[in-house]
Amino acid sequence: MANSTDSPANSSANSRRGLFSRKSAADKPSKANKQPGRLKQIVQVFQMTRRNDPNVVWLMLLAFVAIVIVCLVIGLLIQNWVTLLIISIPLGLLAATFILSRRAERAAFAQIEGQPGAAGAALSVLRRGWILQEQPVAVNPRTQDAVFRAVGRPGVVLVTEGPSHRVKQLVEAERRKMNRILPNVKIHVIETGRGEGQVELSKVAKTVQKLKNELTKQEVAAVDKRLQALGSNKLPIPKGVDPFKARPDRRAMRGR
C-alpha cells in the first residue's frame, strides 16, 4: 500500500511550500548592483581628485597638521595639552575632508569640461530654491551648442554651452521668446568657458547664487508655469554628460 505522504496532493503542496519559502536567485541582491559603502566612495573620490589635482594630498596634510599644532599650542598655554590633542584630531580630519570636497568638485568639472551637457551639470549643484530643467531649453543639433535654464528669486538664468560667437544667436532667440510672456522678469545670461567674460564650470553655481533677488517664492512658481506653457525645442542632450549625475557625491566626501 502506498504511503499517504507520497500522494500527488501532498507532493504538490510540498513543492508549493518550497517554492514560496525560498527566494529565487533573481530575488537575491546582486553584488554587481550593490552600492559601494561610504568609505569606499570616499576613497574613490580621493583617487579621482588626486589624478586631476596632485596637490590635494599636501593641502589636506597641511590643514590637518596646522589644526593639530594650533590646538597643541593652546593646550600648552592652558596646561591641558592632552585634551586639546584629542580634540584636534577630529577637527584636523574635518578640515582635510572639507578641502577634499572642494577640490573634488573642481576636479569633477575639469573632467567633464567640453562635453555636451556640462553646463547643465554645473547648474545642477544649485541649492534649494531653484527650479532647474533637466534638458536644455535650446539646442543646435549640428554644433551641439545648448542653453540651459534655471528659475529662482533673481529671475531666469540662461547658461550657455558652446563658443560665444556661435551660441549668441541661440540664447538671444530664447531671450526674445521669454520677453514676450515675461516682460517684467529679469533674464540673466551666463556663458560657460575660460575666455574673457565667461565663467568656468566650477564657478557657475557660485555666480548664480550671487545674483540679487527680485522675485518672491510665489512669483518664481508662476514664472516657471509660464515658461513650461511656452514650450521650447527641448531636444535630448547629446551623448555626453548627464547633468544630474555628473556632480560628485558630497555626502560621500563628508564621510556620511
Tens-digit pLDDT profile for residues 57-106: 899 999 999 999 999 999 999 988 899 999 999 999 999 989 888 888 77
* 187-241 per-position pLDDT tens digit: 999 998 888 888 888 888 889 999 999 999 999 999 999 888 876 444 454 554 4
pLDDT of residue 93: 92
Name residue, grid cell 507532493.
11
Asked if 248 and 105 count as a contact pair (C-beta separation under 8 A), the reply is: yes
Calculate what percentage of the chain has a pLDDT beyond 70.
76
Cell representation of residue 254: 563628508
User: Where in the chain are the domains?
Assistant: 38-112, 118-240
pLDDT of residue 158: 93
In this predicted structure, the answer to whether residue 163 has a pLDDT above a threshold of 80 is yes
**Is residue 149 very low, low, confident or very high in pLDDT (cuts 50, 70, 90)?**
very high
Assessment of whether the complete model's pTM goes beyond 0.75: no
**Is residue 140 very low, low, confident or very high in pLDDT (cuts 50, 70, 90)?**
confident
pLDDT of residue 42: 77
Asked if 170 and 193 count as a contact pair (C-beta separation under 8 A), the reply is: no
φ/ψ of 17, rounded to 5, equals -65, -40
Asked if 111 and 245 count as a contact pair (C-beta separation under 8 A), the reply is: no
Cell representation of residue 133: 530643467
Strand ranges inside the chain, DSSP E: 131-132, 138-139, 146-152, 155-161, 187-191
Question: For residues 152 and 132, what is the distance between their CA atoms, to the nearest angstrom?
Answer: 9
In this predicted structure, the answer to whether residue 33 has a pLDDT above a threshold of 60 is no
